[in-house]
Structure 1
């Protein structure tokens, strides 16, 4: 899997995002392009903000047991998969605002680098390796950029 912590891969992902327009349509799924960008920001909001509630101990245990491997492995996500409630974006979003927010989060993560993420705790899955964080970040972005044909 490509390494989102490298400048080269960050630039590749950013250039794919730049190909999107406010009129881009999904190949599958029902989110608008602005909603998709906001949805992708949630992953980073969970790392950098306290905007989303943390799962309770039981939910975290279940997520670690059944969901973690799907999220942090190198196996691509299935199309039209279920998502956690905090990732559901149902209201309309402003395309340029969400695009800038996502690119800023991606760049911040790349600048912090792998060392910052080695052993860093995920609110949902506990401590993750830098490789697991990479897989989580890159795979999610790649999945949704493919959803919109970029």
Structure 2
């Protein structure tokens, strides 16, 4: 898995995002390109804002026991897989705004670096290593950028 904290990897992801346009359409799934960008921002909002509440104890146990391994494995996410409710973007979003927000989140994360994320707590999965955070961020971005052919 590529390391999102590596400047070259982060720049490659940003270039892929910049190759999107308002007319980009998905190879699979039903999200528009602007909804996909907003969807990808949710992972970062969970880290950098208090916008989302922490799952309850039972939900956290289920996530840590059954979902974490799949999310953090090298195996790609399945097409049209289920997503958590907070990741579902139902209304249309502003493409440029969401693109700029996502790029800013990627740059912020890369600038903070691995040391900032080593042992950092995820609201869903508990404490993660920097490598696990990188996997979580990179794998999700790669999945959706591939979904839109970039």
d(CA) in 2 for partners of 1:74, 1:95: 30
* 1:97-145 deviation line (CA, Å, top 9, x unaligned): 0000000000000000001111100000000011110110000000000
* 1:39-94 deviation line (CA, Å, top 9, x unaligned): 00000000000111110111101100000011112211010000000000000100
1:125 aligns with 2:102: no
1:106 aligns with 2:106: yes
2:88 alignment partner in structure 1 = 88
1:8 alignment partner in structure 2 = 8
Structure 1, unpaired ranges of 5+? none
2:66 alignment partner in structure 1 = 66
2:21 alignment partner in structure 1 = 21
1:38 alignment partner in structure 2 = 38
SS at match of 2:53: coil
d(CA) in 1 for partners of 2:4, 2:93: 25
What is the TM-score normalised by the length of structure 2? 0.99
What is the TM-score normalised by the length of structure 1? 0.99
1:148 alignment partner in structure 2 = 148
RMSD of equivalent CA atoms: 0.5
Q: How many residues align?
A: 150
SS at match of 1:81: coil
d(CA) in 2 for partners of 1:66, 1:28: 25
Q: Contact conserved, 1:73 with 1:132, CA < 8 A, in 2?
A: no
